[in-house]
Amino acid sequence: MAEIVIERPLLSWPSRLRRSVGAALTDGVFAGLTRGSRYLPISHPRLHGIEVVRDVPYLESAGSSHLADIWRPMERTGPLPVVMYVHGGRFAKLSKDTHWLFNLWFARQGYVVMSINYRLAPQHRFPAAVEDVCAAWRWLHKNAAGFGGDPNRMVVAGESAGGNLATALTVAACYRRPEPFARAVFDETPVPRAVMPACAYLQVTNPERFVTKNPYLIDRLHEVAEDYLHGVRVEAERGLDLADPLVALERGEAPQRPLPPFFAPCGTWDVLIDDTRRLKVALERLNVRCEARYYPRGFHAFHGFVFTPSARACWREAFGFFRESLEPRP
């Protein structure tokens, strides 16, 4: 066994204080904005013709980490396309409840949406989150029809850490891998018809690769790696592929099942933009369509502010991409 150890640096007390304050500020702002906005009258799903089946267990444990919400239009004339949405939050924060707006946005466009929780770091380190996402995908394929969805028209989307997990799921669906949970996806489920890793953090290892002098951003990037990977043990050199799906794709190895098209949006002010640029290059070398869109002055997760022009442009282009990807195959 090879042990992957990301050492926690010995920080001075001012640095420790800076990290603690920065993390608390980030988590508080995002959680407060998303949870608080749920109480606005306009956020009620039924006002948009949407119904929600809440807290559906996708694993027998039925713990809170393994629950999903199903969002769907109240008026349905036939099986609808399906999206599994994987929330972001540094692999350590947030939930399906904080990302209600993305679920509503998809459902309003005529999708059945499965929005999932998964086990969070640092209590549950890699590969717990990927294992849960794979389990949710298998459950969705078996149960989509019962909720009015078409199991033959399934896509996966997520932002930030969720974009990483959506890409890792796609790698598991297209490459025959040794992990039992990945092999089950490969053997039992279809490849997603399309993938949307938005402003995605696609390589958790080596956070030093990002060029930034902003100590706040440097702290957050190192916290992701430490929380998600510290002390993780893997059996082989490629055992971190599903934490670094970008690295796996950059090897250029032909998949056993064709990779689907990707829509990869990112703001130009997002420190993670280089991961999206690398993704486009890697996929095009594999002859896979990747629509990487860069939105001027967009910060991290800019598309969550759906009333801004850049966010609306992003979603308009994303839904157009999905419609094209979900058209009947010849």
Q: Is the peptide bond before 127 cis (omega within 30 degrees of 0)?
A: yes
C-beta atoms surrounding 211 within 10 Å: 7
Indicate whether 33 pLDDT > 80.
no
pLDDT value for 230: 85
Q: How confident is the model at residue 28 (pLDDT cuts 50, 70, 90)?
A: low
Q: What is the pLDDT of residues 89-100, one digit of tens each?
A: 999 999 999 899
- How far apart (Å, rounded) are the C-alpha atoms in residues 85 and 88? 10
Task: Give the C-alpha separation, 225 to 131, whole Å.
Answer: 18
Give residue 243's pLDDT band: very low, low, confident or very high (50, 70, 90): very high
- Amino acid (1-letter code) at residue 4: I
Both structure tokens of 48: 């948009």
**In the predicted structure, residue 21 carries a pLDDT above the cut 50:** no
Nearest to 1 by CA among 238, 233, 243: 233
pLDDT digits (tens, 9 = 90+) for 125-164: 999 999 999 999 999 999 999 999 999 999 999 999 999 9
Pick left, alpha or beta for residue 221 (phi over 0 → left; psi -120 to 50 → alpha; otherwise beta).
alpha
Q: How far apart are the first and last CA of the chain?
A: 46
Q: What is the average pLDDT across 41-61? A: 88
| All structural domains of the chain | 2-325 (3.40.50.1820)
Mean pLDDT of 22-47: 61
pLDDT value, residue 12 = 53
- Residue 96: Cβ-neighbour burial (10 angstroms; 0-12, 13-18, 19+): buried
Mean pLDDT of the chain, nearest integer:
89
The torsion angles phi and psi of 156, rounded to 5 degrees, stand at: -130, 140
Lay out the sheet containing 262-267: strands in order across. 50-57, 67-73, 112-116, 80-86, 149-159, 195-198, 262-267, 290-295
Cβ–Cβ < 8 Å for 166, 154: no
Query: Is a pLDDT exceeding 80 seen at residue 25?
Result: no
CA distances 227 to 6, 25, 27, 65, Å, are 9, 17, 15, 17
Tell me the residue ranges of DSSP E strands in the chain.
2-3, 50-57, 67-73, 80-86, 112-116, 149-159, 195-198, 233-234, 262-267, 290-295
Nearest one of 289, 291, 316 to 303, comparing CA atoms: 316
Q: Report residue 236 as tokens.
A: 């082989």
Residue 16 pLDDT greater than 80, yes or no: no
CB 115 within 8 A of CB 252: no
* Interval 211-241: pLDDT, tens: 776 777 888 888 898 899 988 877 667 889 9
Reported as a pLDDT band with limits 50, 70 and 90, residue 32 is low
pLDDT band at 10 (very low <50, low <70, confident <90, very high): very low
| pLDDT given for residue 107 in this prediction | 97
Mean pLDDT calculated for residue range 80-87? 98
Mean pLDDT score, 51-67 = 92
pLDDT at 328: 82
Question: What pairs with residue 67 in β-bridges?
Answer: 57
